Amino acid sequence: MIDFNQPPYVEKSMDYIRKAVENKKICGDGEFTKKCNAWIEEYTGTKKALLTTSCTHATELAAILSEIKPGDEVIMPSYTFVSTADAFVLRGAKAVFVDIRPDTMNIDEKLIENAITDKTRAIVPVHYAGVSCEMDTILEIAKKYNLLVIEDAAHGVAMASYKGKALGTMGDYGCYSFHETKNYSMGEGGALLIRDEKNVENAEIVREKGTNRSKFFRGQIDKYTWVEAGSSYLPSELNAAYLYAQLEVADKINEKRLSIWNRYWDGLEKLSDEGKIVRPTIPEGCVHNAHMFYLKTRDLEERTALISYLKEQGVQAVFHYIPLHTSPAGQRYGVFAGEDHYTTAESERLVRLPLYYNLSLEQTDYIIDKVNVFYKER
């Protein structure tokens, strides 16, 4: 069976984990956490990056720093992972879902303004498959209504950009994921990107249990104390060590993933030209990071048949999110603003094909062949 996903593994992974153990410091903010933070800052240009225990926690941290409170409303797409909404619902806010664009599966920027009320506090654009939302428009709307922008860039780590700017660096806060399924992985992990210097100190405090411990370790104060409500969002050094080995060869990993993505694109071109499938759209000004290759079938019935056929052929292909507004919690904690023209319909057509660092081009060609055979027989 060709797996849908395998976590990335590189040569120095175990060496760095061993070094972390030998350093006699395996809790948070050791040598490798600092190296990961520095790499993200250098590669993206963000003012500050803080490694976290997950992208979920990075988003929760952003919600706390944004002072989201009960009664607030936060605008986001319904076609996203539950963590996008959870972070704000936990603060007592209501998730206001907006329809997506069928070309990118991202929030439709033209519908955001109509969803704004006097309770709206923030907009959360989700960069699906590492392809950017239309950020110029979103940032203009946020400025006009004095709203915060918190980018869910779980899919868009580092290599993906919008008009030359790394995803996660344009909003007030950006949230990265280093989950097992992402381009670069630490098993469970994430990072918060902070655009403005004024927000850095408070972020460090909340992340470090509400204490000014980070300033103490830098020698800026004689002792540390509890100064704000916070939690522990620091990942283990073992996880950070595993991740840093990949960041050192991030370009190599990115090039390999792009080669697979491009292989799919070329190999499925004929089916696309014949109108049998739809391939991903990369708008002008957007650079993607080959986080995902998906295709869209005619409808849910055809998608189910394709996934079943590929499984019979030894290929694990999967669908993706069930729109949040259709879920029990989504109906309890959120509301859909406007009409659901595309969110549900497009989500039912989407199939994700295997794409990971250790997938060979020979395996990719096999998958392409099986997809073509499936449609030849229909």
Going from N- to C-terminal start, the domains of the chain cover 13-247, 250-376
Residues 6+ apart with CB under 8 A from 373: none
- Rounded to 10 degrees, the C-alpha dihedral 229/147/282/293 comes to 30
The angle, 0 to 180 degrees and rounded to 10, between the axes of the packed helices 13-22 and 31-44 is 130
- 239: pLDDT strictly greater than 80: yes
> Could you tell me which CATH class the domain 13-247 is placed in?
alpha beta
Paired with 336 in beta bridges are 97
Residues 6+ apart with CB under 8 A from 141: 109, 112, 113, 116, 123, 147
Residue 260's SS3 state is helix
Residue carrying structure tokens 């057509």: 349
What is the per-residue pLDDT across 338-375, written as a single tens digit (0 to 9) for each? Answer: 999 999 999 999 999 999 999 999 999 999 999 999 99
Cβ burial, residue 44 (10 Å; 0-12/13-18/19+)? buried
- 129: pLDDT strictly greater than 70: yes
Q: What pLDDT was estimated at residue 193?
A: 98
Alpha carbons within 13 angstroms on the beta-carbon side of residue 76 total 36
- Rounded to 10 degrees, the C-alpha dihedral 10/194/208/333 comes to -100
Identity of residue 363: Q
Residue range 12-35: mean pLDDT, rounded: 96
Alpha-carbon gap, residue 57 to 321, rounded angstroms: 20
Cβ burial, residue 328 (10 Å; 0-12/13-18/19+)? exposed
Q: What pLDDT was estimated at residue 74?
A: 99
Q: What pLDDT was estimated at residue 222?
A: 63
Residue carrying structure tokens 């990072």: 191
For 205-258, give the DSSP string. Answer: HHHBTTB-HHHHHTTSSSS--B-S---B-PPPHHHHHHHHHHHTTHHHHHHHHH
Tokens encoding 141 = 């709307």
- Domain 250-376: CATH architecture, name and number where available: Alpha-Beta Complex (3.90)
- 188: pLDDT strictly greater than 80: yes
Alpha-carbon gap, residue 240 to 271, rounded angstroms: 42
Tokens encoding 108 = 């439709």
What is the per-residue pLDDT across 245-264, written as a single tens digit (0 to 9) for each? Answer: 999 999 999 999 999 999 99
pLDDT tier at 13, thresholds 50, 70, 90 = very high
What is the per-residue pLDDT across 52-85, written as a single tens digit (0 to 9) for each? Answer: 999 999 999 999 999 999 999 999 999 999 999 9
